Amino acid sequence: MTDVLAQLPPDPLLERRRLVQSIATKTQRRRAVRSSLFIGLLSACLAMAIVPLFFVIYALIVRGGHVLTWVFITKVPVQPTLFEQDQIGGIGNAILGSLVVDLVAALIAVPLGVILGLYLSETETRWANGLRRAAEIMTGLPSILLGIFAYIYIVTTMQSFSGFAASIALAMLMTPVITKAAETALRSVPRTLTEAGLALGARQSKVSLRVVLPVATPGIITGVLLALARAIGETAPLLFVIGASINYEWNPFHQMAALPMMTFTYSSAAYDSQHAAAWGIGLMLVIIVLVLNASARLIAAFMRRERH
Amino acid sequence: MSQEPTTTQTGSGIEAVALLPEPAMRLRDVSVAFSGRMAVRNVTFDVAANKVTSMIGPSGSGKTTLLRSLNRLHDLTKGAVVKGEIQLGDIDVYGNELPTTLLRSRIGMVFQRPNPFPTMSIYDNVVSGLRFNGIKKKSILDEAAESALISAALWDSVKDRMKAHASTLSGGEQQRLCIARALAVEPEVLLMDEPTSSLDPVSTQRIEELMVELKNRVTIIIVTHNMQQAARVSDDCAFLLMAEDRAGELIEFAPTTKIFNNPSDSRTLDYIQGRFG
Ligand SMILES: Nc1ncnc2c1ncn2[C@@H]1O[C@H](COP(=O)(O)OP(=O)(O)OP(=O)(O)O)[C@@H](O)[C@H]1O
Ligand SMILES: [Mg+2]
């Protein structure tokens, strides 16, 4: 019986199958080793990226952790004296200042960024390409230039330092980031939804607002929170424009305090207590950024799950 | 303008639609090109009112392209050019008597894959077309939603969860939701591009039954790869085939029974017997 089979001409399909299987078996070990080497390399790179972050957070906790008390967070600053070197008061004014300044910046940057994102996602003209390029350049600009811009055009025209001028500088920082995020999120909305809307007799603008925008919202929110996280820690745009305040200041058209400004001033101040406070504020900024990042992810994940 | 009634507020509206003059749509020498490359060439046929017209043909023969030229969906595609004459009743589809938005509200469309609006509830999906067209009154929306869902054979399974997200429905239910969404605007013509190609046999059968029931309400034009489906549901049938230059041409247009039993063109017979395509 076997003799008969052996005499048959070889089946090319079977031959090829045997060949593929034998080569796959021979190389399987080598491929497995190569793959784990690659994973090892990737992990090392990841570690190199993450380790500095942990060192920074560790240093901040060691040097600034003890400063973060309820009093520190809620009271306004007090100037230490030679006899009471440890009196430092709090940073409530800076927390409020940052909150107001960033909120106003977001109120300007979010609608602007979303509208620009909508425009860019729906047009392919020269204009749109120019705008996209401009936005990319804006994200790469040293942020101090935005501060100088706000100084020249806002502070000198309004003839006063103000939280508002700082908001404008930060809005310019945030807008291109939001624009990019919005464009990406809007472009990833399936084309067939737009077509379904138009086929029902809707205007393009209505389809954009009622159909496309809601689907893209999680992505846009993520972009907004990441832009906020970036803005909240920026010192350079505020430097020449925000002025200073040691009181709770709600009015954005007055001079204000802000967290990064406070770190900046305290770190070059005279007393040890002020240096510690600078570390404390640094720690607080890191916490805020981490919280914003985490909420960006959570909100996006939640909204995506909501509709499945 | 002659005063043919389209849809009236009184009664069920069904009798009024039946009065529409035949044909519902008229295609004369319709050609479609993308960036200079012909995809459909010189197609001419009439779509009879309150009938189901099917379009069959091998992949790439321009069925989708032709279907989408009927509601001007190519307007969005850069480089797409539609030539020839397309009429809805006595309105020139590509003329400017009727704004495109109004035209599209009179020619509904169901797509190959179910595409309900994912952020909207079942109810909002059904009435979305009405809202897009400026209708806000709750009582009108409620009534239209119920009527459209009943017509789409979906009412009983969703009437208790109208607020649920559309994505909680099965694929077949989602497609019927899309049919309801199109019907709610009370279009005169309903375009369907392989509406059952992503569905299971049971959902497919329900949608086929639906098409036959919907006939007295709308004129249906359906693209399908499924011969049996074309034979089962359609009254007239258009067979398209690519020419040498791969542009789709109309080979034969005739009553479905003729196409399937006694086609005039040998290529039609070949295709129907599965000899190519
Ligand atoms: N937007 C477009 N841009 C360029 N070419 C297109 C576009 N849409 C369709 N075509 C071309 O037009 C021709 C016909 O395509 P169409 O989708 O109409 O075929 P079809 O008959 O619907 O095929 P199928 O049965 O596979 O759906 C194809 O050659 C296709 O590549
Ligand atoms: Mg197709």
pLDDT band at A300 (very low <50, low <70, confident <90, very high): confident
- The yes-or-no verdict on residue B22 having pLDDT over 80 is no
Q: Which amino acid is at B47?
A: V
Q: Which of A199, A207, A214 sits opposite B108 (nearest CB)?
A: A199
Mean pLDDT of the region B86-95: 92
User: Rounded to a whole number, what is the distance in Å from the CA of B154 to chain A's nearest CA?
Assistant: 19
Tell me the CA distances in angstroms from A45 to A41, A214, A293, B13, B124, one per residue in order: 6, 37, 22, 69, 48
Q: Whose CA is nearest to atom 8 of ligand 1?
A: B65
Q: Which of A194, A200, A307 sits opposite B104 (nearest CB)?
A: A200
A219 contacts on B by Cβ (under 8 Å): none
**How far, in Å, from the CA of B248 to the mean position of ligand 1?**
9
Question: pLDDT of A124-141, one tens digit each?
Answer: 889 999 999 999 998 888
Instruction: Please name the residues in contact with A236: beta carbons below 8 A apart, sequence gap of 6 or more.
Output: A142, A143, A144, A146, A147
Q: Which regions of B48-101 does DSSP assign to beta strands (E)?
A: 52-56, 80-88, 91-92
Looking at the complex, does the CB of residue A209 fall below 8 Å from at least one CB of chain B?
no
* Higher pLDDT pick, B47 / A296: B47
Looking at the complex, does the CB of residue B102 fall below 8 Å from at least one CB of chain A?
yes
Q: Please provide the DSSP assignment of B196-252 as one string.
A: TTTS-HHHHHHHHHHHHHHTTT-EEEEE-S-HHHHHHH-SEEEEEEE-TTS-EEEEE
Looking at the complex, does the CB of residue B178 fall below 8 Å from at least one CB of chain A?
yes
Mean pLDDT of the region B54-59: 94
> For residue A244, what pLDDT is reported?
86
Tell me the CA distances in angstroms from B2 to B89, B140, B218, B267, one per residue in order: 11, 28, 20, 42
- The yes-or-no verdict on residue A88 having pLDDT over 90 is no
Q: Which of B109, B119, B131 sits opposite A199 (nearest CB)?
A: B109
Cα separation, B219 vs A151, whole angstroms: 66
Question: pLDDT of A216-248, one tens digit each?
Answer: 999 999 999 999 999 998 988 998 989 888 889
Reported as type and span, the H/E element at residue A132 is: helix A126-140
Quick one: how far is CA A282 from the chain centroid?
17
**CA contacts within 13 A on the Cβ side of B210:** 27
Q: Strands B189-193 and B107-110, how do they pair?
A: parallel
3-class SS at A128?
A: helix
Cα separation, A26 vs A66, whole angstroms: 60
CB within 8 Å: B73 and A195: yes
Q: Which amino acid is at A188?
A: S
B131 contacts on A by Cβ (under 8 Å): 210
Domains of chain B: 19-114+188-272 (3.40.50.300)
Q: Partners of B193 in the beta sheet? A: B223
Name the residue of B37, B41, B64, B240 to mutate for ligand 1: max ligand atoms within 8 A of Cβ.
B64
Question: Mean pLDDT, chain A, as a whole number?
Answer: 90
Looking at the complex, does the CB of residue B141 fall below 8 Å from at least one CB of chain A?
no
Residue B195 — φ and ψ, nearest 5°? Answer: -65, -15
**How far, in Å, from the CA of B122 to the mean position of ligand 2?**
27
